[in-house]
Structure 1
Amino acid sequence: MIRIEHPIEFQDTYDLTRIGSLDELLFFDIETTGFSGDTSSLYLIGCTWHRDGRWNMTQYFADGPEAERQALTEFFEMLKHYRVLVHFNGDGFDIPYLLKRCAHHKLNYSFDGLVSLDIYKKIRPLKKLLGLDSLKQKAIERFLGVDRTDVFSGGELIEVYKEYLRSRDDRLFHLLILHNEDDLKGMPCILPILNYPDLLEGPLSLAGHSRASLRDIFGREAPMLDLCFESPCSVPVGFEAENGLVNMSLEKNLLKFRIELYEGELKFFYPNYKDYFYLPLEDTAVHKSVGEFVDKSARVRATAKTCYTRKNGLFVPQFEPLWEPALKRELKDPVSFTEYRRELFEQPETAQQYGRQLMRYVTGKGRG
């Protein structure tokens, strides 16, 4: 086995302290002769790590089939000194692959006790929202405006490695090493993509709140609510998304929502409908303590669908329970409403909760 170690320049593109202390982080990437850990082998593990104020790179190169075991052993012994493992799709490929190769060599190593940060998994739920055509590293680089060209594909490198084993040509060796090194050096280029989940999952503070209106296609005025939130995170590329009643735009650290308000009549449904009568002529429900004084011909037992009172006004949609009373158009409507008033957003925690549910509604992530 050949072990290579040297300092590297690691671009400062993302606040890594959000992940952990710099000296706790280990970035890694592997090169293999195939996709299955059962039928192919590992020939290179590359790691990037931080010590004494500088970044370093270590690569374990299996210069023959017998060297794979030693490469695995040295990598896992090194891993004992770190707490957070950072990678791209390592949960789906690299980690299971390494464990299969350990099992093949009867090595009792595991990733237990480590925090695994998979960049691929973090951004997978945001693929549609960000308009990514795929989740491959090159697609993310295109989205972020990173211009980096790989000379060889993974499949071509397998043949390069096989040819190296036959010829021991130093030129081929350096080609394999440099490809892995470039992949690791390129990792910081895609780290800014983590700003999106960080912003969407992190704290928000309400920075602006105003009423607006928008003319529909028939020229009618539709009431709107504009909310602007600030985040401690800033995204590299802005975008806009919409889902029914809510339009969301994101630019740097500002998250803006335009919410369609409802103006008209809504219903408040009482949960304990068995305690109510429904009055068909008045289209309302009354408690039995009051309804017993109403003529029997003018009342019927309320059902869940008819146990309501009506209210006119201007209402804010809520997509998860937050404010009471919550009114609806009909009982089983997924969206409820509460009467609009500026005081709804006076409490910072309540405003943040509403901002979060707006994000979940637009991104289709549900409650979280």
Structure 2
Amino acid sequence: MLVTQDILNTSEYEPNHFLLEPGTMAFDIETTGFSHKYATIYLIGMVYFDTIKNEWILEQWFCEKASDEYELLFKFNAQLKKYNRIYHFNGDQFDLPFIKGRMALYKMDCAPYISYDLLKIVRPFKKTLGLENLKLKTLEKYFGYHRDDPFTGGDLIHVYEVYKDTKDHKLFQTLLLHNYEDLLGLVSVITHMPLFDLLKQMKDDVMDISEIYGYEEEGVYVIQFPLDDSVNQSFDLPLYQLIINHQFCTLRIPIQSVDLKYYFPNPKDYYFLTTEGYAIHKNVGKYVDPSHKIQATKENCYILKGGNFLPAYKHLNLPFHYYYENYTDVQGYILLEDLATEEDLILYVRKLLTLL
């Protein structure tokens, strides 16, 4: 088994990178196929912070021949006992079952670990980030990481087979480069874990918002509140723009200054006034000339309301009236003036953030 080690210049990741937490590493494997029953692991790469040397280490273990796999797995198991908080990409689905499956063939029990699968962490925010897919390379591109390696893991299976026969050093470098770039890409995504932690708090409605203010600005309602995390990212979402600028969060929400419809429940209790263009309750409508009224239906059982409106959805369960352009609309609006207190504003913001 060949071992290569590189000291990374990762000053841009410090001082709060998640890989600096004790006993933490990122890893990635390369295999000769997709089934642990018929394929082998020929390369494992790791990134970890060596607290003794005070250095970031990228280490790769490479099987020159198939029989090296036992040594590779044995040493990786020992590594897991030191670095058992493991970050990976789709490792819960592929890498870890593959490793444990290969270990079982050698009568080896995998050391316990705490798993952080970046694919699972990122998946709920695919639309928020505007990603076309959830491949690691797509995430790398989103966060501005550029790789030189053009291959996929599947592309390199044949390259490894040729290497075993020829021991060609160029092929060896090609195999290492792909894994090396995967690891650097993985580390670059882990750098943005504070962002995903923050987005998860927002989506799960567990944000602690204790201070907030809002104001109108040229057809936009701006809401701002402070954050505990230092994150810098912005998103253009269907209902609003979200700007996270270090320790401050801003929502810019378009104001609709129009006439909208409030639909009454129980249309059977209402008349629609054909001359006026709105519905009234039958207790009042019984005094109206029969030629000016008809039985209300769910489509016309409304009154018109003018004002400044902000977007919302019924399923957000806000304690305000909802207004719509048409009965069949899914998205509705609430009156800006209904956000009369700080508590109302905080509630509205918390509910909007669950739409991430």
Same fold (TM over 0.5): yes
Aligned to 2:86: 85
Between Structure 1 and Structure 2, how many residues are aligned? Answer: 345
Aligned to 2:118: 119
Q: Map residues 110-259 of structure 1 onto 2, 5 A cutoff.
A: 115-124=114-123, 130=129, 137-138=136-137, 140-146=139-145, 149-150=148-149, 154=153, 158=157, 161-162=160-161, 165-166=164-165, 180=179, 183-184=182-183, 187-202=186-201, 203=207, 205=209, 209-213=214-218, 223-235=219-231, 238-239=233-234, 241=236, 243=238, 246-259=240-253
Deviation per residue, 1:244-287 (Å, 9 max, x gap): x5344555455443322222322222223344444444444344
User: In 2, distance between residues paired with 1:294 and 1:108?
Assistant: 86
User: In 2, distance between residues paired with 1:167 and 1:283?
Assistant: 84
User: In 2, distance between residues paired with 1:333 and 1:182?
Assistant: 47
Q: Map residues 1-368 of structure 1 onto 2, 5 A cutoff.
A: 11=10, 13=12, 22-49=21-48, 54=54, 60-76=61-77, 78-79=79-80, 84-102=85-103, 105=105, 107=107, 115-124=114-123, 130=129, 137-138=136-137, 140-146=139-145, 149-150=148-149, 154=153, 158=157, 161-162=160-161, 165-166=164-165, 180=179, 183-184=182-183, 187-202=186-201, 203=207, 205=209, 209-213=214-218, 223-235=219-231, 238-239=233-234, 241=236, 243=238, 246-292=240-286, 299-319=293-313, 320-341=316-337, 343-344=339-340, 346-347=342-343, 349-357=346-354, 360=355
Deviation per residue, 1:159-189 (Å, 9 max, x gap): 6654664577899879866875675466433
Letter in 2 for 1:209: G
Q: Which moved more, 1:38-47 or 1:73-82?
A: 73-82
- Cα shift at 1:101: 3.2
User: In 2, distance between residues paired with 1:84 and 1:35?
Assistant: 25
User: In 1, distance between residues paired with 2:349 and 2:248?
Assistant: 13
Deviation per residue, 1:125-179 (Å, 9 max, x gap): 6566556677555554454444554498757865665466457789987986687
Letter in 2 for 1:350: L
RMSD across aligned C-alpha pairs, in angstroms? 4.5
- Cα shift at 1:42: 0.6
User: Conserved in 2, the CA contact under 8 Å of 1:267 and 1:311?
Assistant: yes
User: In 1, distance between residues paired with 2:173 and 2:286?
Assistant: 91
- Cα shift at 1:61: 4.3
Rate the CA distance shift 1:40–1:344 in 2: closer, same or farther, 3 A: farther
Rate the CA distance shift 1:121–1:345 in 2: closer, same or farther, 3 A: farther
- Cα shift at 1:241: 2.4
User: Conserved in 2, the CA contact under 8 Å of 1:102 and 1:108?
Assistant: yes
TM-score (norm: length of structure 2) = 0.71
Letter in 2 for 1:335: Q
Letter in 1 for 2:45: G
Give the share of equivalent positions with the same residue, in percent: 31
User: Conserved in 2, the CA contact under 8 Å of 1:199 and 1:234?
Assistant: no
Rate the CA distance shift 1:318–1:43 in 2: closer, same or farther, 3 A: same
Rate the CA distance shift 1:32–1:286 in 2: closer, same or farther, 3 A: same
Rate the CA distance shift 1:184–1:297 in 2: closer, same or farther, 3 A: closer
Q: Which moved more, 1:9-18 or 1:37-46?
A: 9-18
TM-score (norm: length of structure 1) = 0.69
Letter in 2 for 1:314: N
- Cα shift at 1:22: 1.8
User: In 2, distance between residues paired with 1:138 and 1:279?
Assistant: 60
Deviation per residue, 1:189-234 (Å, 9 max, x gap): 3323434433433347566522122xxxxxxxxx332233444344
Rate the CA distance shift 1:283–1:80 in 2: closer, same or farther, 3 A: farther
